[in-house]
Every structure is written in C-alpha cells, then in structure tokens.
Amino acid sequence: MTQQNKTSLMQQALGEQWAQLPPSLKAHYNNNEDGENIAIGELTIDYPKFMQWPLNAMRLVGALVNRRGAKLPTTVERIMNDNGAQYWHRSIQYSDGTTVAFKSRFTYDLENNEFVEYTNCFLGLKMQSFVIDGALHYESCGYVLELGAVTIPLPEWLALGHASIVESAINETEFQMDFRLKYPLLGEIFSYIGTFKTL
C-alpha cells in the first residue's frame, strides 16, 4: 500500500478543508495500513410508493435499494486499492433476516475536483464535496455513462436526478449521514438517513 493510497480520497479532495472536519468524520474517511475502513450503525430508507417499480428495475443493475426500513443494522466497508479507486460495500440487515448488499466504486478526478461513484460497470454519479460549519456536504453535478473506452456525460434529469449528502458529527465518535435524491417535478424520490460509528 503506497503512501498516496493511505491518504483517503476525501482528504485529497478537501485539501485544507480537511482540517475543519470533526474527529468522527475524519475517522470515517481515514484508511488503516491496508487501505480499509469499517463503520457500523443503523439506516432508515424511504421513498414514495410510485418509486417501487423503478427501484426494482434499478436494483437489477445494482443501483440503490428497493426496500424501505427503519433503523436497519448496517455495516459499511471501504477498501482502497493500489490504483486509487475506493470500493464501498454496504450490508443492510432487515428484520426478516434478509441481508441486502449495495456495492459501489469511487474514483476521484483531481483535475475537476469531482468524485464519481459507480453503482455498476457503466453508470456513475459525479459529485463535489465541501465543508460547511464542520459538516461534510456532497452535491451531485451530473452523471457519466461508460461504454467501454467511451465516457458520455449525462445531465441529472436524464438519469436519477440531483443527489445531496450531508454528514455531520453527533459526538467525538459518531456521525449522521443524510442522503436525498430529488428529481425535477417529482420531488424527493429516495432517501436514507442513519447514524454510524467507525470501528
């Protein structure tokens, strides 16, 4: 594991703003010697009824989660490889004993200061991050469609809409994560909110 890969993508992206993050958020994004990080907590997932079938279809290609639930035990594992990509593996446990996995791959575009999160091999969500009053914000800025060696930019309205994430410290060890997905005219079409602690 190189020194660069020991430095998290978030620390690279925030630069001087990294120092503004409270300890619980820094712990969430720091990597251990193997480039790994694990957080555990509870997640509440919600969306309007009309989104059930679209989410069922999106789930077939790895996007989002198509089951609601409140305070679901959740584990988030991150692994950073030697090529600078970061792999997220979220395991969500439901009361009926079912475990749902939601995986994605993060890359960081230094030139444009953008993250791209791929939930499958061809669709990526572009995001920029910044710190306001100690809280970490992500705002989406479009999507990309990868078809082999060709990358096609997509406007938000042509994909899943606008995504926003706010992560804020609860105390020295715990933090809250709030994700919202809004589509023009339809309003909020998906959300999850939860509290986590990094191991």
Q: What is the pLDDT of residues 101-138, one digit of tens each?
A: 999 998 888 778 899 999 887 899 999 999 999 999 99
Number of structural domains (the chain) is: 1
Q: How far is CA 85 from CA 82, 89, 104, in A?
A: 8, 13, 10
CATH of the domain at 177: 2.40.128.20
Q: Which residues pair with 72 in a beta bridge?
A: 43
Q: What is the pLDDT of residue 51?
A: 97
Q: What is the pLDDT of residue 112?
A: 80
Q: What is the pLDDT of residue 2?
A: 47
Q: What is the pLDDT of residue 38?
A: 94
Range of the domain at 51: 3-198
Enter the tokens of residue 25. 């958020």
Q: With a threshold of 0.85, does the pTM exceed it?
A: yes
C-beta pairs of 78-86 under 8 Å, 24+ apart in sequence: 78/31, 78/36, 78/37, 78/38, 79/34, 79/35, 79/36, 80/5, 80/8, 80/9, 80/31, 80/35, 80/36, 81/5, 81/35, 82/1, 82/2, 82/5, 84/4, 84/5, 84/9, 84/108, 86/8, 86/9
Query: Within the chain, which residues score under 50 in pLDDT?
Result: 1-4
Find, among 175, 70, 159, 66, the residue nearest to 117 by Cα.
159
Could you identify the residue written with the tokens 């499958």? 120
